[in-house]
Copies of this chain bind each other. A is one copy, B any other.
Amino acid sequence: MTVIEGRRTAKKEYAVAVAGATGAVGDTMLRLLEERNFPVRSLKLLASERSEGKVLSFKGEETKVERLTAGSFHGTEIALFSAGATRSKEFAPMAVEAGAVVIDNSSAFRMEPDVPLVVPEINPDTVAGYKARGIIANPNCTTIVMVMPLKPLHDYGQVTRVVASSYQAVSGAGKKGIEELRRQTSAWVRGEPIEVKAFPHQIAFNLFPHIDAFQPNGYTTEELKLIFETRKILGDGSIRVSPTTVRVPVFTAHSVSMNVETKRKISVVKARELLSKMPGLQVIDDPDQGLYPMPILAAGKDDCFVGRLREDLSNDHALNLWVVGDQLRKGAALNAIQIAELLVARHL
C-alpha cells in the first residue's frame, strides 16, 4: 500500500518509536519494519534501564537503545508499544500527549470502549476510532490466531460458541521463555539439573495449563482475553467462548484446537472455501499427505494456517479445526505494523 502511494506522490515518512525494542516482540517489529519497507523517517528505540545503551541494527544502521522516559516521545508520530501493560499504562498517554498515535501490544487498553482493538483483515474500519484516545490496541497473541478462521465462518454462519484449547509457545512469554526452554533442554542433554526460573514449572518435556494469572472463577487472565477480545474484534457480544490455555515446549507459534458452533450449518467443503478466501490465512488440510498446520511450519511466516477441518460428529452445527500462527508475527508485531500501515494508507 505504502509503495503504491509512493508512486503517486512524494511518499510521506514517519518518526517512529518502538517502546520495548529489545524484547522478543520488539525484535520482530524492527525486522518487520525493514522487511515491509515501512516509511520510517526516524526511529527511536526505547527500553527499560536494563537495556539502555544496547545497540540494535535497523536497515544496516546501528542505533542505541534509549531509556523509556516521560520525555521519550517528543517529535514521535507513531509509537509502537510492547513493553508490558504497566509501562503502557504509564507511558502511552505521555506519547499521545506528545502528539504520537500509540499502537499498544499490551493488554492495558484492549477492553476500553473508546480504544479500538484491531486485526486489519477483520475490522479495519474500527481503526479510525483511535482519535478518541490516540491509542489503538493490538489483541492478545492467541486471540489473533483464533479469530483469523473465525471471521469468515462468523460472516457466513454466525458463530455462537467456541470451545478452544491452546498449545502456546514459550516465546509468548518473551525472550526469557525462549532462554528457559533452551537452557533446560541443554541441561537435560548434559545430564545436569533443570533449573526453573521464567515459568512456574519445568517446561522442557512438560506442559501446563497455566498462562498469566488465575482469577477467582478459576480461569486465567489469558483465557478471559480469548472470551472478551474475540467478541470485541468480531463485533458481536453474543459469541460465547470456552477456553483452556496451555504452555507447551515449542519455541515459536501458538496452536489452537477449536470446536466452532454456528447458527447456520457449515459443511467442510463450504468452510474450506470460506477459509481459503480469508486474507492472511492459508488452508493446509491434506492429512493423507501428512499436511496440516504445525508450529515449525508457521514459525517465521506472516500468515496463519488452518487445517484438520472436520464436521463435528457430536453436533451437526459445529466444526472442528486446528489453527497455528507465529504469535510473534501475526500474533503481535506483524499485526501492530499492519495497523500502522492502515493508518498510513488511510492518511489517518
Which A positions have Cβ atoms within 8 angstroms of B?
A: 161-163, 165, 167, 181, 185-186, 188-190, 200-202, 205-210, 214, 217-220, 227, 240-242, 244, 246, 248-251, 255, 257, 259, 268, 287-288, 290, 292, 294-296, 307-315, 318, 320, 322
**Nearest-Cβ distance from residue A28 to partner chain B, whole angstroms:** 18
Instruction: Give the chain B neighbours of A181 by CB distance below 8 A.
Output: 205
CB distance B246 to A309 under 8 Å?
no
Instruction: Give the chain B neighbours of A257 by CB distance below 8 A.
Output: 165, 209, 244, 246, 257
Interchain CB contact (< 8 A) of A242 among B186, B214, B314: B314
Interchain CB contact (< 8 A) of A296 among B206, B251, B318: B206
30 of the cross-chain contacts (CB-CB < 8 Å) are: A161-B315, A163-B314, A167-B167, A167-B207, A185-B189, A189-B189, A200-B290, A201-B290, A201-B294, A205-B295, A206-B295, A207-B250, A209-B257, A209-B308, A210-B292, A214-B287, A218-B268, A218-B287, A218-B308, A240-B315, A241-B313, A241-B314, A242-B312, A242-B318, A242-B320, A244-B322, A249-B249, A249-B250, A257-B257, A259-B259
- Please report the C-alpha to C-alpha distance between residue A206 and residue B318 in the assembled complex, in whole angstroms: 28
- Please report the C-alpha to C-alpha distance between residue A320 and residue B218 in the assembled complex, in whole angstroms: 10
Instruction: Give the chain B neighbours of A244 by CB distance below 8 A.
Output: 257, 308, 320, 322
**Nearest-Cβ distance from residue A197 to partner chain B, whole angstroms:** 14
Interchain CB contact (< 8 A) of A255 among B186, B207, B268, B318: B207
Instruction: Give the chain B neighbours of A295 by CB distance below 8 A.
Output: 205-207
Q: Which residue of B lies closest to A227 (CB)?
A: B313
**Nearest-Cβ distance from residue A330 to partner chain B, whole angstroms:** 18
Instruction: Give the chain B neighbours of A320 by CB distance below 8 A.
Output: 242, 244
Interchain CB contact (< 8 A) of A310 among B219, B292, B314: B219
**Nearest-Cβ distance from residue A278 to partner chain B, whole angstroms:** 20
Instruction: Give the chain B neighbours of A163 by CB distance below 8 A.
Output: 163, 259, 314
- Please report the C-alpha to C-alpha distance between residue A248 and residue B307 in the assembled complex, in whole angstroms: 17
- Please report the C-alpha to C-alpha distance between residue A141 and residue B162 in the assembled complex, in whole angstroms: 27
Q: Which residue of B lies closest to A167 (CB)?
A: B207
- Please report the C-alpha to C-alpha distance between residue A250 and residue B181 in the assembled complex, in whole angstroms: 13
Known: A185-B189, A240-B314, A248-B167. Is A214-B288 also a contact (CB below 8 A)?
Answer: yes
Q: 18 other contacts beyond A218-B310, A242-B313, with CB at 8 A cut-off?
A: A167-B248, A181-B205, A201-B290, A205-B250, A206-B295, A207-B255, A207-B294, A207-B295, A217-B311, A217-B313, A218-B311, A227-B313, A241-B313, A242-B318, A244-B257, A244-B322, A246-B255, A248-B249
